[in-house]
Structure 1
């Protein structure tokens, strides 16, 4: 019988990120996966800006960017004509160090994460399957099937189900997974292509009763995502030649080679609970939704990082177990909102009929082009796509405000006077930021509590971003603002930690 702090079931990006962040904070983890190796095909493709910001904590961002392909723009086509080119950089460059959509195939992504995990002493145990588990109240007892067919009993203080949409962990807990499955069948194809649209950018082609998206991961190579319009009982047996090529031809795209092709159905579901006792659901085990906007994998990674710092704090006796309840409290609302938003967009893109075709092909491209010229609309769209808009305002760990910045917000990124205020966020730790001057009481509190204090000279850029001169912002280990205080910050911070059950930040 073996024991560890956390048993992680599933070694996709979500499970690997959870293992990385826990191990970096001193937790002992075991990560298992029933498959023989990382998926051989590129499923999730997009890594958004917020994920890259968080990847800085383990020095992962640069490696992922260098391995992936930056897409600076989305091009919208309708009936064979380019209708709009939406560039991320003019707006995104003011909001994040990563003003682009990074396309990085999931199979490559998983391999990189697994290599990083192995480099810090944890190896994914492949062909190892969770057969059963019991929550004994003070520990988890799990029965595992090993590669040779033998079984082993493993114990852990907590269990994380990162085991996908069909999650055996969720089924064992009998947690509801409300939602449904869209009627339409989609296809995906990794292709080598030539033509004007094979320029290394994202292209969306809208046609009457047809559409296709092209996500480039190199010039001349990319992922096609399209719709199989006709209901086919043999959808699983379809080939690339069987699906409509009208939207592809409208991109003036010539497919030179198909490296991989598959069909799938899209689900939209959210688990009723993300935690039960010592067991957590993370990523697709907790929520699945349409691929619109490439949000799925990024949301799972966000789940993992949110849970990791809380588990680490409890494991190190720095916080009470009640802190772990905030994982569900913060992530389930976002998952529900995301499913609702992507559901509306998915329905619009796939709706059939003359009116739907007219709105999608004639009206939507014109509106998109017009709206994107409006600065506030352009910023909102980028924030939503990049997940830099995600916040925990009103959540169980969020308090107060100073200026426009509230507890639960992502800290605004402000490179000013040659200083990057995100540089200290590479540490997975509580910290305090002050823009201007810090009071003596705050300095003393930070010293006593061993909380790093970062003071940035006040500039007009800070005011534009909504910060308040001399206010103090208490940041969580996942870089979100916990509490913002314009005055008496030391007292406010001490009271906050006591209220949320943090004994040693």
Structure 2
């Protein structure tokens, strides 16, 4: 069987290669550059805990030591105090068109009574990890150097793709141009994806949704270890959209600062950026500009685009080649890494056992739906936050609502930032009578709890993911105080072990003392990428088998017949 061809050696392509290797699938990564990643402290990534855990499993590197987890979140805004006026005092006409001078009166009153407000929020239960992107890329490359199943071909720019029923052929140009033969091909080659263009896939969306000036600097700020959102600094009152600032900590006293730029294409000069740095630091410290060391700068432009198709036969898209997002704190690279995690186990199963069309098609159905929902949420919120005024800016409590909307993407919650759930997945089992609710919805990422592995060791549930195996977890309170040998042959364990052995795909049986919302003897079925398939009330071999079969794309015989019929 030929290796999987991965076009693009960024974080998404490298992550996919390592995820495939973990499941014994070889790959070749076509890198159009000479290899390596330029160190840029102004180019950073924010990772949710489950994604950081995925990368740590693949690289063997404790990334938390190379980045910073937020100790909290600080939202700073200019609070408008309007005690005498309530929302009911105005009708829609006066608000919508500014009749009778009413809105101007409110604005004047609020200015007279404005005060500087700071609200502090605790970090989420699983705070995000912030680190420089080159640190992540270097960790991935170092892991690939130790992995014999992954080959990186540098100075190899894709030129041609040819598909047949049995595989894919790719031709590269450049000093080392040649032909490559693969079982599948995945385009992880960024916004200007050659793979996407060669497959004639449309990439509709919006250009320059937002622009940010970015600076990485070393300085002592009053809130060490806390991420910062400053919506309307009092020293910049000319335009709300021109004043929003975010700051995220990095190790060694380094901060990444982002200033939202006004609409347009005005050039961000070094003089303008230095002015913004100095006035921001002075405003935060309440005096003159404190000492700082400027390390890196840049301008970040956010585009919102979504590819029409993510699969054409044996060719797939992932990462920025498939989607672009990033407004309001949403993290495009985070979603790209989720693409790789979702696709890896499906390609591995197809590589080892033959293609299942429902399973392979589910990659687009699941991941595209999640990213599309994220883009829709951002498009709905943007007019509210960037509209530049209206009554909601002056009604008590409205500012707090704006803060919540803005922080959703940054903190990984709400429609803008919460982990994607594959609620309508074609892999979701139907008609399972013994299904019971737990705190994790079917299709959502499972909680990371301590489990007992088959060898009797205690491990985290996330450590068992990505092994080309389903996970079956029995919730059994009290088992944690006994060695596995004392209870592995008792009670319902023998029957459950037999049911797991009979599943249509290899599965690992784990035991947990507790799981959020689950009662004793609940059985969880989990996909290799950590998404819950179902939760069953006790040991139900027939239901467990049906759910596992659905999660794999249906019965193998029916899938094979459908594949043969399509040739």
TM-score band, normalised by shorter chain: 0.7 to 0.9
User: Is the 8 Å Cα contact of residues 44 and 130 (structure 2) preserved in structure 1?
Assistant: no
Alignment of 1:127-138 (within 5 A): 127-138=155-166
Q: How does 1:246-395 map to 2 (within 5 A)?
A: 247=280, 249-252=282-285, 254=290, 256-317=292-353, 320-353=356-389, 358=394, 363=397, 365-367=399-401, 383-384=413-414, 389-395=419-425
In structure 2, stretches of 5+ residues that fail to align are 79-114, 477-490, 558-567
TM-score normalised by structure 2 residue count: 0.75
Give the superposition deviation at 1:358.
Answer: 4.8
Work out the CA distance in 1 between the residues paired with 2:392 and 2:208: 17
Alignment partner of 1:181 is 2:207? yes
Q: Distance in 2 between matches of 1:317 and 1:423?
A: 25
Q: How many residue pairs end up in the alignment? A: 478
Determine whether 1:162 maps to 2:204.
no
* TM-score, normalised relative to structure 1: 0.84
8 A contact 1:393–1:407 mirrored in 2: yes
Task: Provide closer, same or farther for how the CA distance between residues 315 and 343 of structure 1 changes in structure 2, counting only shifts above 3 A.
Answer: same
State the Cα RMSD in Å: 3.4
Greater shift, 220-229 or 331-340, is seen at: 220-229
Q: Does 1:495 align with 2:546?
A: yes
Structure-2 change in CA distance of 1:230 and 1:385 (3 Å): closer
User: What is the DSSP-based 3-state SS (H/G/I as helix, E as strand, rest coil) of the residue aligned with 2:139?
Assistant: helix
Equivalent position of 2:474 in the other structure: 434
Instruction: Tell me how far 1:4 sits from its aligned partner.
Output: 3.8
CA distance in 2: counterparts of 1:370 and 1:303, whole angstroms = 27
Deviation at 1:364, TM superposition (A): 5.0
Tell which deviates more after alignment, 490-499 or 132-141.
490-499
1:445, CA displacement in angstroms? 2.1
**Partner residue of 2:99?**
none
Residue number among 20, 31, 34 corresponding to 1:22 in the alignment: 20
Maintained 8 Å contact 1:474/1:493: yes
- Structure-2 change in CA distance of 1:25 and 1:466 (3 Å): same
**Aligned pairs for 1:236-251 within 5 A:** 240-241=273-274, 247=280, 249-251=282-284
Distance 2:502 2:393 in 1: 64
Which residue number in structure 2 is paired with residue 222 of structure 1?
Answer: 255
Map Cα deviations across residues 338-359 of structure 1 (whole Å, 9 max, x no partner).
1122334444444434657657
* Structure with greater proportional strand content: 1
Deviation at 1:172, TM superposition (A): 1.5
Equivalences for residues 116-127 of structure 1 within 5 A: 116-121=143-148, 122-127=150-155
Aligned residue for 2:85? none
How far has the Cα of 1:501 moved from its partner?
Answer: 3.5
Query: Considering only CA atoms, is the larger Rg found in Structure 1 or Structure 2?
Result: 2
Q: 1:60-139 maps to which residues of 2 (within 5 A)?
A: 60=60, 63-79=62-78, 81=116, 83-88=118-123, 92=125, 99-121=126-148, 122-139=150-167
User: Residue 479 of structure 1 aligns with which residue?
Assistant: 530
Query: Relative to 1, partners in 2 of residues 1:371 and 1:27: Cα closer, same or farther, differing over 3 Å?
Result: closer
Match of 2:227 among 164, 186, 202: 202
Give the match's secondary structure for 1:141.
strand
Query: Structure 1 193/423 Cα, relative in aligned 2: closer, same or farther at 3 Å?
Result: closer
C-alpha contact 1:129 1:145 (8 A) present in aligned 2? yes
Give SS of 2:3's match: strand
SS of 1:124's partner is strand
CA distance, structure 2, for counterparts of residue 334 and residue 353 of structure 1: 31
Q: Equivalents in 1 of 2:216, 2:62: separation in Å?
A: 23
Aligned-pair CA distance for 1:157: 1.1
Stretch of structure 1 that moved more, 233-242 or 112-121: 233-242
Name structure 1 gaps, 5 residues minimum: 93-98
CA distance in structure 2 between the partners assigned to 1:81 and 1:455 by the alignment? 52
Give the 3 Å change call, closer, same or farther, for CA 356–124 of structure 1 in structure 2.
Answer: farther
What is aligned with 1:52?
52
Deviation for aligned residue 1:422: 1.5
Change (3 A) 1:56 1:434: farther
Q: 1:321 to 1:116 in 2, by over 3 A?
A: same
